[in-house]
Amino acid sequence: MRYAWLSRRVRPAGRAGDAVPLPAQRARDGAGSTGDPAPGRAPRAGDAAPGPAPRTPTGRTPGRGGRRADRGIVSIELVGFLPLLLLVALAAIQLGLSAYAAQQAGTAARAAARTASADRPEATPAGAGRAAMSGWLADGASITVSEGDGEARATVRVEIPSVIPGLHFGSAQRTATMPRTEDGPLPAGAGGAR
């Protein structure tokens, strides 16, 4: 009996004599690719018997291999995507350095203005500004102090360090103003930055 496999896996259709393979059985058996009858038609004497799935020149069955076959492709995709990841990481680090340089410039400007506003300062305003900053940023900072109209104004300019050598990202500048006192330094919390 040539089609014995089909007699166990079919259900009767609406008309007498017609048999239709169940959809799940057609998908499992690979209907259409191995000579199975078309859906809705019973097998006939001239139909080809089902056989093994076709093979590729390497001997593998198409559509099989799963994750093992995808491993090389994932590696290639990662290598192609890696430069973009590095660029995003460098941009994030550069943004953090820019924000840190601006914060340090503000700290130095407040310290220099506070020292300049004192009647008898113990240190120079530029020295106080540099002391308030991180050492690696203080070396390239420029601090200018001006006094007049009963106030002291300090402006600090700090070069923004670059992650990539050869690129220049400018500088961060902050200004702070403190009122001058005749009796000495201001009480804590007085004055402000602009």
Each residue of 112-165: pLDDT tens digit? 999 998 877 788 999 999 999 998 998 889 999 998 888 999 999 999 999 988
Model confidence, pTM = 0.56
Fold of 74-193: Pantoate--beta-alanine Ligase; Chain: A,domain 2 (3.30.1300)
Q: Kindly report, as residue ranges, where domains of CATH 3.30.1300 are found in the chain.
A: 74-193
- Mean pLDDT across the chain, nearest whole number? 76
Give the confidence band of 78 by pLDDT, cuts at 50, 70, 90: confident
Token representation of residue 9: 């896996």
Rounded distance between C-alpha atoms, residue 72 and residue 76, angstroms: 6
Q: Are the CB atoms for 175 and 194 separated by under 8 Å? A: yes
Residues 6+ apart with CB under 8 A from 186: 114, 117, 118, 178, 179
